[in-house]
Structure 1
């Protein structure tokens, strides 16, 4: 008999919406105090400056606006867990769009305030079941908002890495949703039950083909913290570096995730 298909994880729409606004608010509060010199600092994202990174954070949220401007697709044809695998397709266009947004909005605080207000207006006007045409396929609005937590958390981390001492906080629910979506994506990328990946306190998934573990301590275990997991899954941190720096513990012959990461490019 084939193994039972796993039920897709569900996300509380109200908590997801609150998380998106909370993390966007954290970024906006931090950006408000940045100097011109800080905005001109380089980031770990190629040639982008901090100013361009902040513009991109706003742009990641207004992806919802752009999707709602288009006609609704006839039916959903993808699950939210598949979204991470579709993020590299338009990287060049995204880079150009980001530079244009940064040039057009010199007052980044005002820009983010407008993004926040317009998102409130749109979410009040559209049901969470409204289908959107996204880079991954047709998704309900509520599911697409889960993907925005990944964008917001990963780019908040980029911002903290670029500006010494900035320390933008991470909303707990945003961090949880981002961690869970990327952990579930790993399980889709490498289905199986031989290895347990733990990202406490938010996620535990089984992955990788091999003998399925049912009792006691699993023979293959990977464990790390949420931010390290997000950095690994999004290509900010290499697997070998994470292991060498003891940011990840990996035990067992099937506990090497190096060939499976990053999930997003």
Structure 2
């Protein structure tokens, strides 16, 4: 995966999310999301937490070589176990509680994504990092997993706030490639899904009918473990 392409998509998608959150009212921060038990504020705090791992990863010693791709990062192991998910939920809630207002949450997210963007742009192509799960990955591949977080939870936040999704085309294209591979466009045409609808269905945000499930199976599509 080309590092510059992923960085540009991350820049655009995170910027869109930051601008959307800047206009959230006091009451809206407490609205529930589909990612229970998180509120809008909790969910934005979660997105901030998962991109805030990067500065520390970039200062740590680099592994000699990458061994895990973005798709392999989502393998169904302990990172999605109940106790890990519980810790993930609590960490986001704790971070949200540290902020005095929703506006402070929005400002914190805005500052964090811009710091991450700036630091990653200073890194050479082929940079290898180690994730908190121990995976040696190309920075570009790990950034792709962070783009998943920003884009997919951006859909969750838009839905919770009753707004139109702000998913950007560069992010949608990269997520389609991650989830469907190089022949993704042909697969979507056979399924008769647009990118936004596909992303909702592939991540459990929209139910799949029995006929659609049959079509997915016939096309040998395998969903990633996203949570």
Matching residue of 1:54: 44
Greater fraction helix? 2
5 Å-filtered alignment, 1:102-121, equals 102-105=96-99, 106=101, 107-121=104-118
Matching residue of 1:131: 128
Greater fraction strand? 1
Q: Deviations over 1:202-256 (max 9, x none)?
A: xxxxxxxxxxxxxxxxxxx544222222223323233237x5xxxx596598359
Gaps of 5+ in 2: none
Matching residue of 1:88: 80
Deviation, 1:261, is 4.6
Matching residue of 1:218: none
Matching residue of 2:92: 98
TM-score, normalised relative to structure 2 = 0.82
Alignment match of 1:25 (pick from 15, 18, 28): 15
Structure possessing the higher radius of gyration over alpha carbons: 1
8 Å Cα contact 2:7/2:121 also seen in 1: no
Higher relative contact order by CA 8 Å / sep ≥ 6: 1 or 2? 2
* In the alignment, structure 1 residue 68 sits paired with structure 2 residue 62: no
Deviation, 1:168, is 4.2
- Measure, in 1, the Cα distance between the counterparts of 2:143 and 2:219: 31
Deviation, 1:197, is 6.4
- Measure, in 1, the Cα distance between the counterparts of 2:216 and 2:160: 35
8 Å Cα contact 2:71/2:224 also seen in 1: no
- Measure, in 2, the Cα distance between the counterparts of 1:255 and 1:234: 17
Deviation, 1:143, is 1.7
* In the alignment, structure 1 residue 198 sits paired with structure 2 residue 187: yes
5 Å-filtered alignment, 1:5-44, equals 11-44=1-34
The size of the alignment, in residue pairs, is 219
8 Å Cα contact 2:13/2:168 also seen in 1: yes
Matching residue of 2:140: 142
TM-score, normalised relative to structure 1 = 0.72
Gaps of 5+ in 1: 1-10, 188-195, 201-220
Matching residue of 2:218: 254
